[in-house]
Chain A
């Protein structure tokens, strides 16, 4: 029916697992048990649902793009995760994990962030649920996403700038893990994507399945059937797995779009970093390469293990687009539909726009995973306005 659960070792086929320092292994066991127990508990699910609906604004609508459909000669629908509180899909996962942290008696959330969307969402949930919050963010991203840095601080979070390695998302994850190693007794690591050691890829996916569940029903209403193509951007891959989850048992073609400079599936080979076995951009010796993308949220050399699995079975297909194509798509959606997308989902639109010939006459569902407010300053510079 839906996506499969990982096996008892936390694997989707050969991918996943739990490659972490011994210090964290008991914490991952405890987390797995707590998540399984909470997810089976009606009161937890009710509390989460009420936050998702009354606080975060779910369900998010599906919008049919009449103007752009004309231009592309397909029928384009957008799942509007950009309309969620905090401006992206990230809040779905964060509310689930923050409630779980509270249930486990943790006092402090630790998170990594790239574009700042997951950091803002985590800081928001921490403020709401009265938890301390510490967000690690690469120095490069602190500079290119200064609005989100200020948002996090307004929300009461501490933002720690990471000056090691790539100074982007990859090294923010490293520092967040180091913090967790040192504070594991009182801190909860609120990972922002379907990556990391088991149970994170599974748990984060579960919290995002609401995207796919809603979209499936909404497509049935609008189209009377499922779309021909379901498309989403992939960095770690949380918004993509969320929407794929609603269509994996349908005939829909599932397309994940990676940035050309961070195409773990497109350019990587299997490897192990950040607790998981998955496709990874690395050199011949196994040193992890630095990703390079216009989008801070996709600037990551790895990918969630379930995407590696879906790619290996052929159920989903992974494509990549260049920064230039993304810049075009960012402007295209703004101009034709009055919707300024985040640079991340602009990747998915860039693929749709490039492949318009292939998509002629098809119905296409794009997960608009976030809105573009955070990227407007960066685009002003790029476009020399």
Chain B
């Protein structure tokens, strides 16, 4: 098996060339062609793809990703089927998994981490696993060379931001607003504020996610951040029944806006 492509280095390649990084979230197991959608998203310029593994109780997610979750689970997707769908792929960009801690806990930390690695996944985001509970997982993740991306929120105090930046690997996920995932009519002020607080204290890539629903909002967030994570807007397109190519075209509008305006 080839060595996993590291998320941080892929993002740095983009950022060091003077551009902004684009991470795209898609729901694993959503539709028969979700693997093609993943490739299409990468071809359209995603530097990293986050694969959502659906969980029954996604407290950090808004209605769009909740519905996508339910739909994927109903069609029979499990962590095992999603990882096995990925096993024979050789995506041109690195992958991260976004899911909730109980799926890792249930499978067992070591086994979950090694399953990710053998499916070619480089990173993992567990939004309900804060610093205080991180130790057991991060040890298993490190053993399997999985990067653990931590979230920093607008409510996080300064000294805690330092700890989060110290322990986050891959990049630091700046939660752009007080709320769950989903599109909003405009970019919250808190998005640039948290990005700027993070940029002041870390040299790791800082990407803003949650509430980035349009290319314009992505451009605005990137005035401060190194890039953005786009989730619900893409998943909504998948839920509409769009083809992999059409989802790729949507991703291109984000890529183009970032390349032209940042």
**Contacts from A to B (Cβ < 8 Å):** 9, 17-27, 164-165, 170-171, 174, 177-178, 181-185, 270-275, 277, 280, 282, 284-288
Contact = CB atoms under 8 A, between A and B. Distances in A.
B88 interface: no
A230 B115 CA distance: 46
Interface stretch (B36-44, B149-157, B214-222): B149-157
Interface in B36-92: 55-60, 62-63, 66, 70, 73, 78-80
Identify the 6 closest CB pairs spanning chains A and B, nearest first.
Answer: A286-B106, A182-B179, A23-B153, A287-B56, A22-B153, A286-B103
A113 to B, nearest CB: 17
B151 A181 contact: no
Contact of B132 (A9, A164, A174, A285): A9
A183 B154 CA distance: 12
Contact of A21 (B57, B102, B132, B153): B153
B259 interface: no
B80 A181 contact: no
B175 A22 contact: yes
B18 interface: no
Nearest to A27: B155
A183 B178 contact: yes
A22 B151 contact: yes
A183 B78 CA distance: 32
A139 B133 CA distance: 33
Interface string B170-204: 00000100111000000000000000000000000
A171 B106 CA distance: 20
A178 B62 contact: yes
Contacts of B105: 270-272, 277, 286
Interface in B158-180: 160, 164, 175, 178-180
Nearest to A280: B102
B113 to A, nearest CB: 15
Contacts of A25: 130-132, 153, 155-156, 160
Interface residues of B, number: 42
Contacts of B55: 286-287
8 contacts: A22-B150, A22-B151, A22-B153, A25-B153, A26-B157, A277-B105, A284-B106, A286-B107
Contact of A20 (B103, B130, B150, B154): B130
A177 B59 contact: yes
A270 B157 CA distance: 32
Given A182-B180, A185-B178, A282 B106 contact: yes
A19 B130 contact: yes
Nearest to B210: A23
B73 A287 contact: yes
Interface string B111-132: 0000000000000000111111
Given A20-B130, A178-B179, 20 more contacts: A21-B153, A21-B175, A22-B164, A25-B160, A26-B156, A26-B157, A174-B58, A177-B59, A181-B178, A181-B179, A181-B180, A184-B155, A270-B105, A271-B106, A272-B128, A273-B102, A275-B128, A277-B105, A286-B102, A288-B57
Contact of B133 (A17, A170, A177, A182): A17
B130 A22 contact: yes
Given A26-B155, A272-B128, A285-B79, A19 B133 contact: yes
A160 to B, nearest CB: 13
B59 A21 contact: yes
A191 B55 CA distance: 22
A174 B57 contact: yes
Nearest to B155: A26
A273 B106 CA distance: 11
B149 to A, nearest CB: 12
B133 to A, nearest CB: 6
B80 A273 contact: no
A170 B59 CA distance: 11
Nearest to B79: A285
A19 B105 CA distance: 12
B133 A23 contact: no
Given A26-B155, A271-B106, A285 B80 contact: yes
Nearest to B78: A285
Interface string B124-144: 000111111100000000000
Contact of B180 (A19, A170, A178, A272): A178
